[in-house]
Structure 1
Amino acid sequence: MIRFDDVSVQYEGTGRPTLSGVDLTVPEGELVLLVGPSGVGKSTLLGAVSGLVPHFTGGRLTGRVTVGGRDTRTHKPRELADLVGTVGQDPLSHFVTDTVEDELAYGMESLGLAQDVMRRRVEETLDLLGLAGLRDRPIATLSGGQQQRVAIGSVLTPHPRVLVLDEPTSALDPAAAEEVLAVLQRLVHDLGTTVLMAEHRLERVVQYADQVVLLPSPGAAPVMGPPADVMAVSPVHPPVVALGRLAGWDPLPLSVRDARRRASGMRASLAGERPGPVSGADGPRLPAEVVAAPRPAVRRGALARLFGRDPRESAVPEPVTDATTRIERLGVRRGRVEALRRVTLTVAPGETVALMGRNGAGKSTLLAALVGMVEPASGSVLVGGRTPHRTPPREMVRRVGLVPQEPRDLLYADTVAAECAAADADAGAAPGSCRALVSELLPGVPDDTHPRDLSEGQRLALALALVLTARPPLLLLDEPTRGLDYAAKARLVGVLRALAAEGHAIVLATHDVELAAELAHRVVILADGEVVADGPTAQVVVSSPAFAPQIAKVLAPQEWLTVTQVREALGGVA
């Protein structure tokens, strides 16, 4: 169905090809998973299938890509629309209408399908993706995960023969991700749809793949084969594979069920042992340039833009050390929707709290209330003794650093070097402080790279570095691992652990249960705007089928959360 013949892609201004000499065949009616570290060319390979590369992105493509017999060099994306459905990493760039139902119908209208066919397919897709209750909602009012489901639904309704998906579950809660993956399996198994998918959260998808394609490094030839064989050599792999490597299991497990069947001996070896701490000061330290930077700091050109303030407006830093956050019976309304109800929460200096819950549960709204972007309808919020929505933005940004779901909101310069220089100047930090953080989180990115040429995960890592340069007492992160591979996530965990050890308070809204297991002292679960669980990470997630990490499921009822904890305990036993 999809064939690459000696395909290379090189973008203007780059020193080497992003893809080089790719020979690859994706059979009809299979789900093929594309994996690899951030920045190796996964999105470029997917774009070559849909025709976006090079017709939309530019660059030079050599070789030949054919989809259903059509050559993408001579067929532009609109001439492939009836054959290929594409969902990119950013759902907002995908939408062309205002409401959910209109968006689901738009692709079929463009293809001239009959009204009765369109109506039936819209209803089927609303039910398949759990969107029936949102059909009349403006897309702009949806959460990031809800928008992701709408974007997926809009390419399902025309019934394409090929689906190309870039990080389709990255913004979805675990239950919604399972629903989407179940739909994709039905399309593959029952209708013979070909699915080519890139995904970093392999713990969610690898067990469903018929084949896996590994891009090990930029320009390297891809490795294609059965999932277990590729995972045995892949630098990126889910926790159950890491556990299998640790135990020497062959073949490697791909699912929790496979691992549980083999884990009885491991559970016996771990009996009587206690898991080590979830997080602490034992991770990688902050770069020396960042540790030496004065605190507080002001990222005028980034966070200030979220408050609607002129990025050029100056501000004089004031000493701020108190990161204590207190929320009492907080209520927030967004139009007709009661986004938060009676939320009470305290975050102490040095504490890392993970906010979890379904898409639309109110996690991002809670972060917005903490930074003063929304005004409470009831209750109170205090950050360092200040009420955020009543505090001038120039003072609030010295107390709170926010990394939003869309990293582009923090990026406005033409190069990575210019972004870093602006961050250093705004923070009053030593030159090179931000760049040191970028190198820690995102190795190998040249200074002259334009932020728009970075992958979604790379842009997120850059935005994180910009905010972390300021070392704010309270750090808020909204889906901080979206688009990050496992290595980048591990580096992020190390930096955040170091900040927490120095007394910074960290609140992160995430669907990444593995991140919460590695990093959070506490987990707070929201449902329909209310707190339904709040407690130590192990106690909350082990008892939750939806939010338990893979290792907890494999070794339950023992309270192990990560492979690192297991490795340390087994080393002690030996």
Structure 2
Amino acid sequence: MIRFENVSVTYDGAAEPAVQGIDFTVPEGELVLLVGPSGTGKSTVLGSVSGLVPHFTGGTLRGRVTVAGRDTRTHKPRELADVVGTVGQDPLSHFVTDTVEDELAYGMESLGLAPDVMRRRVEETLDLLGLNELRNRPIATLSGGQQQRVAIGSVLTTHPKVLVLDEPTSALDPAAAEEVLAVLQRLVHDLGTTVLMAEHRLERVIHYADRIALLPSPGARPVLGTPAEVMAVSPVYPPVVDLGRLAGWSPLPLTIRDARRRASDLRARLTDVVAPATDGHSPQGNAVPHTEPPHTKPEIPAPRRFLRRRPAHPAPEPSTPHLAADVSALAVQRGPVKALRHVDLTVAPGETVALMGRNGAGKSTLLSALVGLVPPAHGSVRVGGTVPHRAAPRELVRRVGLVPQEPRDLLYADTVAAECAAADQDAGAAEGSCRALVSELLPGVGDDTHPRDLSEGQRLALALAVVLTARPPLLLLDEPTRGLDYAAKARLVTVLRALAAEGHALVLATHDVELAAEIAHRVVVLAEGEVVADGLTAEVVVASPSFAPQVTKVLAPQPWLTVSQVREALSS
């Protein structure tokens, strides 16, 4: 169905090809997972299937890509629309209408389908993706994860023969991700749909793949094989594979079930080891202060004036405030939607709190309230003693910084170097401060690189470096690992741990259960705008089938959360 014949793509002005030596076939009715570190060209490979590369992106494509016999060099994206459905990393760039139902119908209207067919398919897709209650909602009022499901649904209604998906579960909560992947599996198995998908959260998707195409490094030829074959040599792998490598299991497990069947000896070895602390300590054993509960809800891209413009002198260290954040009985109304209801949350200096919950639960709205972007309908919000929505921007940015889901809200310069220079100036930081952070988070990215030429994960890391340059006492991150590979996530964890150790308070809205297990002292679970759980990470995630990390599921009832904990225990 999809055929790559010695394909290479070189973008204008680039010294080296973004990808080269791409030569493999995706048969009809097969799901092929494209994996590899950030920046190795996965999005370029996907774009070449839909014709976006090179017709939209520019550059030179050598070799040949055919889809259902059509050459993408001679067929523009609109001439492939009846065959290929594409969902990119950024759902907002995908939408052309205002409401959910209109968006689901738009692609079919473009193809000239009959009204009765369109109506039936819209209803089927609303049910498949759990969107029925959102059918009349304006897309702009949806959370990032809800928008992702609408973007996927708008492609499914046209019944394409080929689906091309770039990070389709990156903004979805665990339950929604499972639902979407189950739908994709049904399309592959029952309807013979061909799926080519790139995804960094391998723990979610690897067991759905028929084959894996690994791009090990920029410009390298892909490695093709079954999931087990490729995971044995891949530089990126999910925690269950990492645990299998640590335990010496062969073949490596790909699912929780496979790993649990082999884990009895490992559990026995860990029986006499002191279990990770659950008495006010982080997963890594760092003592943290006990505090009150939190709460949140999703949405709203942050205006640059609040997030980007910094005072002309360095932000103060967070040693003086008793609390970094104090939220009491907070309620937020968004039109007809009660986004937050009676939320109480305190965050102390040095504490890392993970906000979790399904899409639309209120996580991003809570972050927006903490940075002053939305006013309370009831209750109060204080950040370092300041009321955020009443504070002047220059005062507020000394106390809090937000890295939003969409990094482009913060990035407006033409090069990485220019972004860093502006961040240093805005923060009153020493020259080179931002660039040093970029080098730590994004090794190998050049000064002259345009932010638009970075992958989604790389742009997010750049935006994080921009905000961190000011070293705010309270740092808010909305889906900070979206688009990051495991190595980039590990670098991020190192930076965030260092900030917490220095006394900075961190609040992360995330669907990444592995990140929460690795770094959070506390987990707060939100549902329908209310806090439904608030406690130490080990206590909350171990008790949850949805939010438990892979290691916890494999080694239960023992309370281990991460591979790094197990590795440290076995070596002690």
Q: TM-score, normalised by structure 1?
A: 0.94
2:336 is the alignment partner of 1:331: no
Contact 1:330–1:344, Cα closer than 8 Å, also in 2: yes
In structure 2, how many angstroms separate the alpha carbons of the residues matched to 1:528 and 1:314? 37
**Please, which moves more after superposition, 391-400 or 346-355?**
391-400
Give 1:564 deviation, angstroms. 0.4
2:283 is the alignment partner of 1:278: yes
In structure 2, how many angstroms separate the alpha carbons of the residues matched to 1:384 and 1:59? 49
Q: Match of 1:305?
A: 304
Give 1:546 deviation, angstroms. 0.4
Contact 1:281–1:498, Cα closer than 8 Å, also in 2: no
In structure 1, how many angstroms separate the alpha carbons of the residues matched to 2:110 and 2:370? 43
Q: Match of 2:160?
A: 160
Q: Match of 1:361?
A: 361
SS at match of 1:568: helix
Letter of the 1:278 partner, please give it.
P
Contact 2:312–2:425, Cα closer than 8 Å, also in 1: no
1:16-71 per-position Cα deviation (integer Å, ceiling 9, x unaligned): 00011211111110110000000000000000000000000000001000001000
**Please, which moves more after superposition, 420-429 or 474-483?**
420-429
Contact 2:314–2:429, Cα closer than 8 Å, also in 1: no
1:363-406 per-position Cα deviation (integer Å, ceiling 9, x unaligned): 00000000111000111111111111111121111100100000
Letter of the 1:256 partner, please give it.
I
**Please, which moves more after superposition, 158-167 or 260-269?**
260-269
Match runs of 1:39-54 below 5 Å:
39-54=39-54
Letter of the 1:484 partner, please give it.
L
Q: 1:316 to 1:252 in 2, by over 3 A?
A: closer
Q: 1:319 to 1:491 in 2, by over 3 A?
A: closer
1:60-94 per-position Cα deviation (integer Å, ceiling 9, x unaligned): 00100000100000000000000000000000000
In structure 2, how many angstroms separate the alpha carbons of the residues matched to 1:221 and 1:435? 31
Contact 1:303–1:401, Cα closer than 8 Å, also in 2: no
Letter of the 2:111 partner, please give it.
L
Q: Match of 2:256?
A: 256
2:380 is the alignment partner of 1:380: yes
1:324-379 per-position Cα deviation (integer Å, ceiling 9, x unaligned): 21111110001110000011111000000000000000000000000111000111
Contact 1:279–1:521, Cα closer than 8 Å, also in 2: no
In structure 2, how many angstroms separate the alpha carbons of the residues matched to 1:324 and 1:150? 36
Give 1:428 deviation, angstroms. 1.6
Q: 1:318 to 1:125 in 2, by over 3 A?
A: closer
Q: Match of 1:76?
A: 76
Letter of the 1:239 partner, please give it.
P
In structure 2, how many angstroms separate the alpha carbons of the residues matched to 1:148 and 1:571? 42
Q: Match of 1:232?
A: 232
Give 1:12 deviation, angstroms. 0.8
Contact 1:165–1:196, Cα closer than 8 Å, also in 2: yes
Unaligned 5+ segments in structure 1 are 283-301
Match runs of 1:419-568 below 5 Å:
419-568=419-568
Q: Match of 1:292?
A: none
In structure 2, how many angstroms separate the alpha carbons of the residues matched to 1:314 and 1:349? 21
1:273-299 per-position Cα deviation (integer Å, ceiling 9, x unaligned): 2126414679xxxxxxxxxxxxxxxxx
SS at match of 2:304: helix
Q: 1:324 to 1:508 in 2, by over 3 A?
A: same
Give 1:303 deviation, angstroms. 7.2
Letter of the 1:331 partner, please give it.
A
Give 1:308 deviation, angstroms. 9.5
Give 1:430 deviation, angstroms. 1.4
In structure 2, how many angstroms separate the alpha carbons of the residues matched to 1:275 and 1:567? 12
Letter of the 1:530 partner, please give it.
E
2:210 is the alignment partner of 1:217: no
In structure 2, how many angstroms separate the alpha carbons of the residues matched to 1:308 and 1:30? 44
**Please, which moves more after superposition, 428-437 or 507-516?**
428-437
SS at match of 1:445: coil
Q: Match of 2:298?
A: none
In structure 2, how many angstroms separate the alpha carbons of the residues matched to 1:453 and 1:279? 36
Q: 1:95 to 1:216 in 2, by over 3 A?
A: same
Give 1:432 deviation, angstroms. 1.1
1:545-570 per-position Cα deviation (integer Å, ceiling 9, x unaligned): 00000000001111100000001111
Q: Match of 1:28?
A: 28
Letter of the 1:101 partner, please give it.
E
Letter of the 1:558 partner, please give it.
Q
Q: Match of 1:285?
A: none
Q: Match of 2:97?
A: 97
SS at match of 1:561: coil
Q: 1:172 to 1:391 in 2, by over 3 A?
A: same
In structure 2, how many angstroms separate the alpha carbons of the residues matched to 1:400 and 1:385? 12
In structure 2, how many angstroms separate the alpha carbons of the residues matched to 1:279 and 1:352? 12
SS at match of 2:463: helix
In structure 1, how many angstroms separate the alpha carbons of the residues matched to 2:240 and 2:316? 45
**Please, which moves more after superposition, 263-272 or 39-48?**
263-272
Q: 1:264 to 1:419 in 2, by over 3 A?
A: same
Give 1:571 deviation, angstroms. 1.3
Q: Match of 1:208?
A: 208
1:143-190 per-position Cα deviation (integer Å, ceiling 9, x unaligned): 000000000000000100000000000000000000000000000000
Letter of the 2:409 partner, please give it.
D
Letter of the 1:149 partner, please give it.
R
Letter of the 2:52 partner, please give it.
L
Structure 1 runs (4+) deviating above 3 angstroms are 279-282, 306-309, 313-320
Contact 2:357–2:526, Cα closer than 8 Å, also in 1: yes
1:426-466 per-position Cα deviation (integer Å, ceiling 9, x unaligned): 11211111111001001101100000111100000000000
In structure 2, how many angstroms separate the alpha carbons of the residues matched to 1:508 and 1:2? 39
Q: 1:41 to 1:281 in 2, by over 3 A?
A: farther
Q: 1:308 to 1:23 in 2, by over 3 A?
A: closer
Give 1:272 deviation, angstroms. 3.2
Letter of the 2:429 partner, please give it.
A
In structure 2, how many angstroms separate the alpha carbons of the residues matched to 1:471 and 1:279? 23
In structure 1, how many angstroms separate the alpha carbons of the residues matched to 2:83 and 2:315? 58
How many residue pairs were aligned?
Answer: 551
Contact 1:303–1:397, Cα closer than 8 Å, also in 2: no
Give 1:307 deviation, angstroms. 3.9
Contact 2:312–2:428, Cα closer than 8 Å, also in 1: no
Q: 1:306 to 1:84 in 2, by over 3 A?
A: farther
In structure 2, how many angstroms separate the alpha carbons of the residues matched to 1:306 and 1:99? 29
Give 1:237 deviation, angstroms. 0.3
Letter of the 1:328 partner, please give it.
S
2:114 is the alignment partner of 1:109: no
Q: 1:303 to 1:420 in 2, by over 3 A?
A: farther
In structure 2, how many angstroms separate the alpha carbons of the residues matched to 1:446 and 1:67? 35
Q: Match of 2:13?
A: 13
Unaligned 5+ segments in structure 2 are 288-300
Letter of the 2:526 partner, please give it.
L
Match runs of 1:161-200 below 5 Å:
161-200=161-200
SS at match of 1:145: helix
Contact 2:405–2:480, Cα closer than 8 Å, also in 1: yes
Contact 1:324–1:383, Cα closer than 8 Å, also in 2: yes
In structure 2, how many angstroms separate the alpha carbons of the residues matched to 1:303 and 1:26? 40
Contact 2:302–2:373, Cα closer than 8 Å, also in 1: no
In structure 2, how many angstroms separate the alpha carbons of the residues matched to 1:435 and 1:165? 32
Letter of the 1:337 partner, please give it.
V
In structure 2, how many angstroms separate the alpha carbons of the residues matched to 1:448 and 1:327? 42
